[in-house]
Amino acid sequence: MSDFTSELKLGKEIASGFFGKVFIADDPARGPVAVKRLHQYSGESDADWNVRKETLLHEAQMLVQAEHPNIVRVHQLVRHASDDTLHLAMELCEGSLQKTFEAGPLPLYRVQRIASDTLLGLDALHSRGMLHRDIKPGNILLDQHGTAKIGDFGLVTDDLILGYGSGAGYSNHLAPEVWAGLGTSVKSDIWAVAMTLFRLMHGRQWCLQIPSASDEVKKGNFAQRLPWLPHVPDSWRRVIRKAMHDDTKQRYQNAAQFLNAISGVTCDPKWECRIAAGHVVWERKTDKRRFKVEWLERSLKKHEWSAASYPIGDGNKRNLGKATSSKKDCIRALEKFFST
């Protein structure tokens, strides 16, 4: 534990969350770093805050030693000299996956790489006897090389999860056993990674149709009821469903098992997907052809899909399929098209 000194100069705010704000700072020894200012949260007593500060300072000592290419490097956690806050100095990254999620679905090959990076980092964290408890797109950061790194780890306790879940949006990533009062574990971290991957491969617009996970998870069998974009192969669906199984014994038992499974799923062909209200478009290219698939919602009961390929250079357009039907039948037809 040490007092915060003026040698670490806070700059502009770059992010904020339930527990505090993040600033760019200049560290004379390390150069630009990110500093998260942790504070007493609303409704927390002074006594509880003092206990939590000591816990955070203790965990930070462990986190400084948790060096791994897929974990955001923690430099130090220091106590501010005057305003009763804590300042966590960390590696400065390009940004989180939250904006990526909001922009739309990621291609599966990118999701697979993010999954591999995240699970490698999580395995390293778990091997040190630590849990993350807050895996979500906003807590996975990218460095300048596009490598995914886990951030904001080890600084959330079971005592706070249900208390801050609603306000921070965390509740959508809580496993069913946590809602049942059984606490967090390696397997609840696994569940949260799977939920994060589902969100990244579908994007915010698609996920808006999903009822609040915090309500739906409690009903049971949540993973089996998730609505999938039609291009996502069965191999992906099986892996995500297993990782989110209600029965923790049926889930992957550790990050290494999940990583092994996700490494074996198919990412071909490499479709790029864009979603707007009532309109989904997929595109991909080969050396000679450009393929385009569209799905339009004409009304609640009338959906239309079409697929065609176009020459790159000389040649003719080829119609590959088209139909108007109910939403259910349209999805079924698109799934069949993408699987062949």
Q: What is the pLDDT of residues 275-298, one digit of tens each?
A: 999 999 999 999 999 999 999 999
The region of weakest confidence among 9-18, 156-165, 240-249, 284-293 is: 156-165
Q: What is the mean pLDDT of residues 109-128?
A: 95
174 versus 243: the higher-pLDDT residue is 243
- State in words which class domain 95-262 has: mainly alpha
Is 124 within 8 Å of 70 (Cβ atoms)? yes
Q: What is the mean pLDDT of residues 48-73?
A: 81
Q: Identify the pLDDT of residue 196.
A: 97
Active site residues: 134
Among 105-109, 178-182, 186-190, 250-254, the range scoring the smallest mean pLDDT is 178-182
Q: Would strands 74-79 and 9-16 be described as parallel, antiparallel, or unpaired?
A: unpaired
CATH 1.10.510.10 boundaries in the chain: 95-262
Q: Tally the C-alpha atoms within 13 A of residue 64's C-alpha that lie toward its C-beta.
A: 13
CB 242 within 8 A of CB 261: yes
Helical axes 108-127 vs 186-207, angle rounded to 10°: 150
pLDDT value at position 35?
85
Q: Where are the alpha helices (DSSP H) in the chain?
A: 46-64, 98-103, 108-127, 158-168, 176-179, 186-207, 213-219, 234-243, 255-262, 327-339
pLDDT at 54: 80
Tokens 């300042």 belong to 87
- Give the H/E segment covering residue 38: strand 31-38
Q: Given a cut of 70, is residue 312 above it in pLDDT?
A: yes
Residues 6+ apart with CB under 8 A from 62: 128, 130, 154
Rounded CA-CA distance 169/16 in Å is 13
CB 326 within 8 A of CB 311: no
Separation of alpha carbons 228 and 307, rounded Å: 19
Residues 119 and 261: beta-carbon distance below 8 Å: no
What pTM value is reported for the model? 0.89
Mean pLDDT within 123-145: 90
Q: Is domain 9-90 classified as CATH 3.30.200.20?
A: yes
The mean pLDDT of the chain is 88
DSSP state, 19? S
What's the whole-number mean pLDDT along residues 190-201? Answer: 97
CATH number corresponding to 277-339 = 2.20.25
From-to residues of CATH 3.30.200.20 in the chain? 9-90
Residues 6+ apart with CB under 8 A from 301: 326, 327
Q: Amino acid identity of 120?
A: L
Residue 297 is predicted with a pLDDT of 96
Domain with CATH 2.20.25 in the chain: 277-339
pLDDT tens column, 261-279: 999 999 999 999 999 999 9
